[in-house]
Chain A
């Protein structure tokens, strides 16, 4: 009986904070997205109009919203697999029996994860510079003419993907590494007795054992990549030609630059619905994989 009371006492401060500073605002955002709350309404509340689904309808007719959605999906669809492949490759190398100095390499490959995004974006801005950038310099050695990474709308999103993969690959690498270490040695023994080559081991032992981890990692990475914001904010300000305007960047401008809070809330909700649908699909996949 005492413990039951204690339980409530222990959780209530945290629950109170989460309720007031998260759940309540989420509900308020839903309400806000049904109004045309804007700067006029901030000045005088009787300038507020209830517009129902008007914001959502208008967004669906706004080219920039679709462009932002397209950019974000491009970032997710290309960036997530690339990021996962890079992480997996790094994990397999580190896990290899012949690798030396594992601890040092692991730390080196993980370091970009903990760095401050704004600061490393500054470096990458420079590495990607058309005429003075190290990246074009290196491409020049193999005869590729300079690419206008951040100025050409075709290359700006790939440049940001490159940067994101560099920054985030270490995170999933650590997760894969743990999963690799937990694969029972007997499985490899058995396959060796059957005369499997290293490649066959990878295909028939390692990868299937990693499948649940793979789905989990893709859920986490995808959720993160959907929330692309700081990279374009710092590196390109959403340009050139709005080719790096992500959904969240669009929301930020709509909300905190122009103070169309109603419309910005609607953007946030549309993003949430999209993420929710995708996560649902992935959880379904996870359940299928996890079944013994």
Chain B
């Protein structure tokens, strides 16, 4: 069995692509264990001379990254719960409940997708100012609890629920809420996981909005805390890499565990059913 040259070529190319893809992330982890100043030499070292946890220690002792981690975790969890609550009911209704103007409203919502979120950003800030929500977690959360993409995702999936199933339950005398709670939700569970992971990652990685809304560094999320760390400690690359590891690791792990659901959502969202 001699391996074919073509198979060798394809697999070598894939390997090279994977190295390019993961190399920077691996190097970040490696530098985060280096002593201060070690990475600033030519040629750049690939591995620390003597691995040290000093950067992580510094990070939690001297900077706000520990607090940022807690804030990010809280905000991403809260955003996920709220998004599930608002988008799932709406998505299901657009798929399965008949009401006046349903199609028109849904088309309007899809049309709104082409408006970049940044257009609304400035008045939104003024609105939060009026509501007294600048520099609050709620101010970060509220604008994104209901979003068109989430509704669309749930609707696509809910279309596959057989009407007979719902009708049978209605004939048995179940109210719309009982029906939603006991029949619809269980059958939607895969897409709930998908929506949850999308929202969680989106919220965790979001940068611009928390940067604008949160003025208090006690409330900063990880990306915002990391960005100010990079501006303040531009000389301490090893420390920043440790900050990067703390920021990226949770989302990578979450993605690895729930990969199937994530990819499924990505495809459902981009290939119109």
Contacts and interface: CB of A to CB of B under 8 A. Distances in A.
Nearest to A94: B14
B208 A18 contact: no
A47 interface: no
Q: Size range of the interface on A?
A: 35 or more
A3 interface: yes
Contacts, number: 271
Residue among B6, B123, B241 with the most chain A CB within 10 A?
B123
A268 B112 CA distance: 15
Residue among B28, B40, B92, B240 with the most chain A CB within 10 A?
B28
Interface string B124-165: 111100000000000000111111100100000000000000
Contacts of B93: 6-7, 10-11
Given A7-B97, A116-B248, A174-B267, A261 B122 contact: yes
B49 interface: no
Interface in A99-118: 99-101, 105, 107-112, 114-118
A269 B266 CA distance: 28
Contacts of B78: none
A272 interface: yes
Contacts of B13: 93
A122 B244 contact: yes
Interface stretch (B50-58, B185-193, B255-263): B255-263
Interface residues of B, number: 96
A74 interface: no
Given A114-B252, A119-B28, 20 more contacts: A14-B151, A25-B122, A29-B119, A32-B123, A93-B13, A99-B10, A110-B263, A111-B255, A118-B247, A119-B245, A120-B28, A126-B39, A126-B241, A134-B27, A174-B263, A178-B271, A217-B270, A271-B118, A272-B116, A272-B119
Interface of B: 4, 6-7, 10-11, 13-14, 17-18, 20-22, 24-25, 27-28, 31, 39-44, 85-87, 89-90, 92-94, 97-100, 102, 105, 109, 112, 114-127, 142-148, 151, 170, 176-177, 180, 201, 204-205, 207-208, 212, 222-224, 226-227, 230, 237, 240-241, 243-245, 247-248, 251-252, 255-256, 259, 262-263, 266-267, 270-271
In the A-B complex, the 10 residue pairs with the closest CB atoms: A7-B99, A7-B97, A10-B93, A28-B123, A25-B120, A6-B176, A14-B90, A98-B7, A17-B146, A119-B244
